[in-house]
Amino acid sequence: MSGAAQVTKRAKYKISVKDPGTPGALRMNDQKLMFMPDNRNSGAKLVVEFKSIQGHKYTKEGSNKPPLINLANAQGGSYIFEFDSYADLHVCRDFVSKVLEKSKETPNAALEKSAIKLPDEQLSEEEMQLRIKLLQENSELQKLHRQFVGGNILTEAEFWAARKKLLDIDPSKKSKQRVGFKSAMISDIRPATDGRTNKVTFSLTPEIILQIFAEKPAVHRAFLNFVPNKMTEMEFWTKYCRAEYLSRTKNYHAVVAEAAEDEELAVFLKEDDILANEVRKKIRRVDPTLDMEADEGDDYTHLPDHGIFRDGTKESNELQSEHYRRTLLQDLNRHAAVVLEGRTIDVEREDSTRALAEALARSKRGNEGADNNANEERLDRTPRVAEIEDLQAPHCLPLAPLSIKDAREYFDSQQANTLKASRDAQASMKCSLSKQEAYRSVRDAISEIKDMGLSDPIVNPEVALKVYSGLTHNISSIKYHLGKNPRETVLDRLPSATKEKLLYHWMSIQELLKHFWSSYPITTPYLYSKVNRLKDALSNIYPQLEEMKESLPADLRHQVSLLVRPMQQALDAAIQHYDADLQKRSAKSGEKPNGYI
């Protein structure tokens, strides 16, 4: 029943709920509903389009009320129908809701259909949504779109190609820049201490966690292994912070004791074996020509106390325990190495710490493969960058000398072009004066002026005055017509309908001209067909403008024609250019009428 295109039920039409109602038959289809009363003469016949129906209400089944459906229309009135049974009501109700839903979609559906891209354009879902949104928000854009794309003058791609800027506003489409690691060592977390309650609070943000994972690969590995199998994230971080706190207290015995108790805590306190491995690998990769042994004799920094005699009797014996003491220098160096390597993970994209850890592990595995190449590159680059400045050659890029080309070249070539063009055009002036004749005529003119002298005054004063007053009158009359109010523009004096039409015409002309001029010079047949389409559209605008002018009363016609004239001039220029170009190409390509190059 739900798939039926039409529903017919017996119902009573009521004007209000209390009305006893006129019995009859209610028929509904996709477009409208019709009510035919049993009594043909009662005059309660009703035909209502679904377009005017805004919503519907109905009585619930369990209540004691009779089965009613109330259709509200746009003007605020309502049609109430009472059915024989609830089953009928349900059927009608479903049908009505279906039709109403479909009609709501129609304005969008039309847009969507036209906005659905041609098969040659790959559009993502978001881009289509963005386009539809832009069209809905901007009514001008919608009008243009409907006129041109709907009228098959422009294709969808061309229309939007001119509006790249609007489409780019969507921030998720722009290539997001990544922020590098901070130079500050935020992985060195310090707690906030509360003197009253003797509690220390560590705060960890995802940024800090990422740095901790990057700088301490053993902690990273521990996280991946322990969470969520052995402990929760909270417990993991609590242990980590405890380890940090302990190692900072420099209370060695406490550290050893705690490490012995808690195996996981020991992981945080021990030496980072992954790092140690990496360092060993790096040492093996050092340039073999670098002799590290030979330097050792010169190296005093590793002697105790830098080779300076010092009285060490007062110092206590430090326990050499297996627990590693990280020095500040090692921390700094490790942090610097991590920062310089660069960042490949965006913290905001990962939801949980687990995801972050996994992403980091993935990127590290990816990097391992590229290691060899990177090493060679690095070996290559280091000597280049590490050169001492004073020993380098002066680094000056050579400047380009000024060479001004002879301007006659350009003018000569232009003249050749125009001569050729004029020769191709019909009936050019037949100027076949020889040099002697030209010289003779110039000489005659000069001698004539010498005899007669220039007329005094050069310009006839009456004529001059007439011209001058005519011009000023023209200018002042325009200013007079525009009125004294500077804020009132010319458009405001016209009735709003005319104004709308003018602006609409102007906008469509601008759009067409933009596309027209951007397709020159024509290099592909596609552009050629596009230009033809545009030219036809442009020629169609002339009669529209004329029509608009004629529909106006006489006093406004002058104003509007002044406004319309520049538009017509622009159209003329475009069509002229088209004709000239066509002529040129047909002259060049001879017999090929299609203009294929």
Residues in contact with other proteins by CB under 8 A are 177-183, 342-344, 381, 385, 395, 397-403, 405, 410, 474-475, 478, 482, 489-491, 502-503, 506, 510, 513-514, 517-518, 562-563, 565-567, 569-570, 572-574, 577
Rounded to a whole number of angstroms, the minimum distance from the CB of residue 144 to other proteins is: 13
List the end-to-end C-alpha distance of the chain, in Å, as a whole number.
62
Rounded to a whole number of angstroms, the minimum distance from the CB of residue 247 to other proteins is: 28
**Secondary structure class of 373 (helix, strand, coil):** helix
Name the nearest CA neighbour of 537 among 233, 151, 198: 151
Half-sphere exposure of 596 (CA within 13 A, CB side): 3
Rounded to a whole number of angstroms, the minimum distance from the CB of residue 324 to other proteins is: 30
Rounded to a whole number of angstroms, the minimum distance from the CB of residue 471 to other proteins is: 8
544 Cβ contact list (under 8 Å, min separation 6): 505
Q: Which is nearer to other proteins, 294 or 402 (CB)?
A: 402
* φ/ψ bin of 560: left (φ > 0), alpha (ψ from -120 to 50), beta (otherwise): alpha
Q: Which DSSP state fits 351? A: -
Residue 93, both tokens: 């109700």
For 585-596, letters b (16+ CB in 10 Å) and e give: eeeeeeeeeebe
Residue 307, both tokens: 């080779």
Q: Which is nearer to other proteins, 119 or 383 (CB)?
A: 383
Q: Which is nearer to other proteins, 372 or 414 (CB)?
A: 414
Q: Which is nearer to other proteins, 181 or 236 (CB)?
A: 181
d(CA 561, CA 546): 9
Q: Which is nearer to other proteins, 297 or 398 (CB)?
A: 398
Q: Which is nearer to other proteins, 47 or 336 (CB)?
A: 336
d(CA 325, CA 327): 6
Rounded to a whole number of angstroms, the minimum distance from the CB of residue 319 to other proteins is: 39
d(CA 46, CA 54): 17
d(CA 274, CA 477): 89
Q: Which is nearer to other proteins, 151 or 566 (CB)?
A: 566
Judging by beta carbons within 10 Å of its beta carbon (0-12, 13-18, 19+), is residue 472 exposed, middle or buried?
A: exposed
457 Cβ contact list (under 8 Å, min separation 6): none
Distances, alpha carbon 286 to alpha carbons 275, 283, 376, in Å: 17, 6, 11
Name the nearest CA neighbour of 569 among 525, 523, 509, 495: 509
d(CA 596, CA 585): 9
Contact predicate 204/244, CB 8 Å:
no
440 Cβ contact list (under 8 Å, min separation 6): none
Q: Which is nearer to other proteins, 247 or 519 (CB)?
A: 519
Q: Which is nearer to other proteins, 18 or 479 (CB)?
A: 479
Rounded to a whole number of angstroms, the minimum distance from the CB of residue 290 to other proteins is: 23
Residue 375, both tokens: 């090493």
Q: Which is nearer to other proteins, 123 or 347 (CB)?
A: 347
Rounded to a whole number of angstroms, the minimum distance from the CB of residue 477 to other proteins is: 8
Rounded to a whole number of angstroms, the minimum distance from the CB of residue 140 to other proteins is: 10
Rounded to a whole number of angstroms, the minimum distance from the CB of residue 475 to other proteins is: 5
Q: Which is nearer to other proteins, 375 or 460 (CB)?
A: 375
Q: Which is nearer to other proteins, 4 or 336 (CB)?
A: 336
* φ/ψ bin of 596: left (φ > 0), alpha (ψ from -120 to 50), beta (otherwise): beta
Rounded to a whole number of angstroms, the minimum distance from the CB of residue 460 to other proteins is: 24
Please calculate the CA angle 116-101-53 and round it to the nearest 5 degrees: 125
Rounded to a whole number of angstroms, the minimum distance from the CB of residue 127 to other proteins is: 20
Name the nearest CA neighbour of 225 among 358, 43, 111: 358
Rounded to a whole number of angstroms, the minimum distance from the CB of residue 392 to other proteins is: 10
Q: Which is nearer to other proteins, 3 or 342 (CB)?
A: 342
Name the nearest CA neighbour of 217 among 281, 163, 271: 271
Rounded to a whole number of angstroms, the minimum distance from the CB of residue 406 to other proteins is: 13
